[in-house]
Amino acid sequence: MNLRKNIGLAGWLLVGLLGLASFLAGPLSGGQQKVIPEEIKQQVRNTDYSAVRIKKFPLAMQCWTYRGYTFFEALEKTKALGIDCVQAFPGQRLSKDLPPSLLFNHQLEPEHLKLVREKLNSLKMQVVAYGVVDLGRTEAEMRRVFEFARQLGIWIIVTEPRDEDYPVLDKLVKEYNIRIAVHNHPEPSKYAHPATALNYLQGMDERVGVCADTGHWMRGQLKPVECLRLLQGRIVDVHLKDRTDFGTKNAVDTAFGSGRADIRAILAELTLQDYDGYLTIEYENEKEVMTPEPAISKGLEFIRKVTYYQDYEQLLSRFRGLYEKHGWNHYGPGYFELDPKTGILKSQGGMGLLWYSRKKYRDFILELEFKCSQKNTNSGVFLRVPEVPTSDDYIYHSFEIQIYDAGEGIHSTGAVYDAQAPAVAASRPTGEWNHFKISFIKDRLTVELNGTKVIDWKAEPRGKVRDLASEGYLGLQNHDSLSPVYFRNIYVKEVNQ
């Protein structure tokens, strides 16, 4: 958001801007850090972003995109684009049916907050973030912003803190469990350079991070992908923009994929970082301020096109940065432990089965990553388990895609266990992550291991499998206590015939 162009919206916002002016060009306690380290640049150059399977990120609209309209109109226009979440900014007129002086901000009276909730509920939408906002000068003023956020279910506050604000913010994010995203307006804002923001975040609670505005970085001649790599682990929000060129002369916002930001690489980098926040769409082309929809629609289509997991469901749910095993049950000895921050499952003991209980799958594509701790790590992926496992009998009525690098033929990694051997060996060295793409359509079972097709088979009862189920549950095996197996990034897509 360009705060300097926002002053015409209301005198209330002007007051906040005057307060911001006191620190925009002020000295830093840690000093300006303007250089992207060469090591970071080299890492980016060495990354093959074209090979990254881009995940589907939740979308939000920064209401500044609709700065020519009221907040309620912005909600309606955002909904029409198929987006259910917004990031509100302070100072936007609330509704054309209400007095012009009534603005969306954290000083709304209860009766006006009620109107906001009613409008959101009627559209089945939510405000997930708020900013860029001046938090005030005292803890009481900052607390008021946090209270406002809590009342509306907002979990990200975007701001540009003063040096002396950080100790208070560190306290408040812990108390409210609401994130702070430090925004990078261009110079003279002190956060124009990512290294400076990173310097401020040292030692802060992990809920204090950055709002990464790709357009503002481009205005400052910075490559967004390099900035993102430098800020890995501290990105709380992303203001996604594409621009026709770097710098400010003759450069304007354009549809995602039409400019020089390299949106695909940005999404790939965020995927590699397992970014858990929103892609907040913010369009600032002044010539299209009243009609941004064509460019936004074109950009959304580009995002859908490059998102590998666009039509997939992720089977390990995630809420505010933490993974959960909701919907998963375990049968038999042992268990799988889940690292809530990384989403990595690790097997313990066995032999048992972690199975996804929320639904049975008929025709589907299942993709996941696995890693073996030793060459003799033994595990498998079970397909179409026909009934809730209550005994070991399920192994005779469902197919298992084997994980066992020490095995051979029908018992080796990539095999349909005890039934069909892989065409080639395609496992990566022990300790590296492998990728399975398993397709089970009617009775045709195909398996790709690290991009190599190793199984293409008309499934039939064979070996230990006595019959072929037409649908069933998906499961992951914990085989024994000798060497654990690890799983992550588990996605499934149903295929309608």
Phi and psi of 302, rounded to 5°?
Answer: -65, -45
Whether 441 and 351 map to the same domain: the answer is: yes
Q: pLDDT over 70 for what percent of the chain?
A: 94
CATH number of the domain to which 9 belongs: 3.20.20.150
CATH number of the domain to which 424 belongs: 2.60.120.560
List the structure tokens of 427.
């496992």
CA–CA–CA angle 197, 202, 205 (5° rounding): 105
Whether 301 and 337 map to the same domain: the answer is: no
1: confidence class by pLDDT, cuts 50, 70, 90: low
Whether 228 and 336 map to the same domain: the answer is: no
Neighbours of 127 (CB within 10 A): 23
319: confidence class by pLDDT, cuts 50, 70, 90: confident
Whether 268 and 328 map to the same domain: the answer is: no
What residues pair up with 93 in beta bridges, in sequence order? 103
* pLDDT score of 29 more than 50: no
pLDDT (0 to 100) of residue 291: 98
How many structural domains are present in the chain?
A: 2
Whether 175 and 44 map to the same domain: the answer is: yes
pLDDT (0 to 100) of residue 420: 98
Among candidate residues 281, 310, 339, the one where a domain is terminated:
310
Q: What is the pLDDT of residues 196-228, one digit of tens each?
A: 999 999 999 999 999 999 999 999 999 999 999
Give the rounded distance of the alpha carbon of 17 from its chain centre: 31
* pLDDT score of 437 more than 70: yes
Among candidate residues 269, 292, 310, the one where a domain is terminated:
310
> Does this model's pTM top 0.85?
yes
Q: What is the pLDDT of residues 481-494, one digit of tens each?
A: 889 999 999 999 99
pLDDT, the chain, mean: 93
Q: What is the pLDDT of residues 377-404, one digit of tens each?
A: 999 999 999 999 999 999 999 999 999 9
Whether 37 and 11 map to the same domain: the answer is: yes
Cα distance between residue 224 and residue 216, in whole Å: 9
* pLDDT score of 25 more than 60: no
Whether 297 and 325 map to the same domain: the answer is: no
SS3 per residue for the chain: CCHHHHHHHCHHHHHHHHHHHHHHCCCCCCCCCCCCCHHHHHHHHCCCHHHCCCCCCCEEEEHHHHCCCCHHHHHHHHHHCCCCEEEECCCEECCCCCCCCCEECCCCCHHHHHHHHHHHHHHCCEEEEECCCCCCCCHHHHHHHHHHHHHHCCCEEEECCCHHHHHHHHHHHHHHCCEEEEECCCCCCCCCCHHHHHHHHCCCCCCEEEEEEHHHHHHCCCCHHHHHHHCCCCEEEEEECEECCCCCCCCCEECCCCCCCCHHHHHHHHHHCCCCCCEEECCCCHHHCCCCHHHHHHHHHHHHHHCCCCCCEECCEEECCEEECCCEEEECCCEEEEECCCCEEEEECCCEEEEEEEEEECCEEEEEEEEECCCCCCEEEEEEECCCCCCHHHHHCCEEEEECCCCCHHHCCCCECCCECCCCCCCCCCCCCEEEEEEEECCEEEEEECCEEEEEEECCCCCCCCCCCCCEEEEEEECCCCCCEEEEEEEEEECCC
* pLDDT score of 467 more than 90: yes
Among candidate residues 283, 310, 337, the one where a domain is terminated:
310
Whether 35 and 8 map to the same domain: the answer is: yes
* pLDDT score of 23 more than 80: no
Q: What is the pLDDT of residues 62-105, one digit of tens each?
A: 999 999 999 999 999 999 999 999 999 999 999 999 999 999 99
pLDDT (0 to 100) of residue 423: 98
Whether 211 and 166 map to the same domain: the answer is: yes
Cα distance between residue 158 and residue 135, in whole Å: 9
pLDDT (0 to 100) of residue 19: 36
* pLDDT score of 354 more than 70: yes
pLDDT (0 to 100) of residue 350: 87
pLDDT (0 to 100) of residue 31: 59
Whether 292 and 321 map to the same domain: the answer is: no
308: confidence class by pLDDT, cuts 50, 70, 90: very high
Smallest CA-to-CA distance from 368 within 476, 458, 277 is with 476
Q: What is the pLDDT of residues 127-170, one digit of tens each?
A: 999 999 999 999 999 999 999 999 999 999 999 999 999 999 99
Pairing type for strands 472-478 and 335-339 reads unpaired
Domain that holds residue 473: 317-494
Q: What is the pLDDT of residues 245-258, one digit of tens each?
A: 999 889 999 999 99
* pLDDT score of 301 more than 70: yes
Whether 273 and 406 map to the same domain: the answer is: no
Whether 276 and 362 map to the same domain: the answer is: no
3: confidence class by pLDDT, cuts 50, 70, 90: very low
